[in-house]
Amino acid sequence: MPYKIAAATSDGVNIDRTFGSAEWFTIYEINGENIISAEKRIFRESEKIALENCEKGCGSGCGSGCGNGGQHSEKVDLISDCRCVVCTKIGFPIRKQLEKLAISVFDVNCSVDEALQKITSYYSRIDNHESLRK
């Protein structure tokens, strides 16, 4: 079954953006271990600014901390059809929102190629019930 990976990369070469600072995600569609297609999904500018300006902590209503009534950040909605997201860093509340949608988060510093290769190989093994033993 094909699936999608969202990557926070500004240049298409390295994973170089935090989840919050990413202006767009490159969405790779994968079948088996092969990349079928790549598309760029741009995040709405206004929301990005709102996110940057908002204060962290309880009740700020911007998706961080308690009190936002369980609503998703729009950025989460943007990639809700993906199986996982790769970025350099991610905040805890957003991670929770993604986890609720069963979207895995990989916060790593590496090239896009390396990330895709490792993640696709991992998913291919678990999808085919193969051991992860190396």
Partner 1 sequence: MAKLLDKQRYKCALGAMQTVQAISRAIPILHSGPGCAQKLSDSIGSSGYFSPNIFPCTSINEKDVVFGGVKKLETTIENALKVIDADLFVVLSGCIPEIVGDDTGEVVSRFEDAEKPVIYASTAGFKGNNYKGHEQVIDAIIEQYLEKSDEKEQGLVNIWADVPYQDLFWLGNIRELEKLIAEIGLTPNTIFGYERGIKNIDRIPKAQFNLLVSPWVSVGNMKKMEKKLGIPYLHYPTLPIGAFETSKFLRAVGEFAGIPSENVEKVITEHEKYYYYLIERYADMFLETRVMAKQFSVVADAQYSLGITKFLVNDLGLVPAKQFITDDTPKNFQEQIKAEFANLNYGIKAEVEFETDSYKIHNEIQSHDYHGYPLILGSYYEKEITEKLFGHYLIISWPVQDKVVLDDFYVGYTGGIRLIEDIYSVAVQRWN
- Strand 24-31 and strand 34-42: pairing? antiparallel
Of positions 10, 14, 48, 110, contacts partner 1 by CB under 8 A: 110
CB of 120 to partner 1, least distance (A): 10
Note whether 2 and 89 are within 8 A (CB). Answer: no
Count Cβ atoms below 10 Å from residue 132 Cβ, excluding itself: 8
Q: Among candidates 122, 119, 116, which has minimal Cα distance to 13?
A: 116
Q: Does 132 bind partner 1 (CB under 8 A)?
A: yes
CB-nearer residue toward partner 1: 44 or 100: 100
Of positions 76, 105, 112, 116, contacts partner 1 by CB under 8 A: 105
CB-nearer residue toward partner 1: 48 or 89: 89
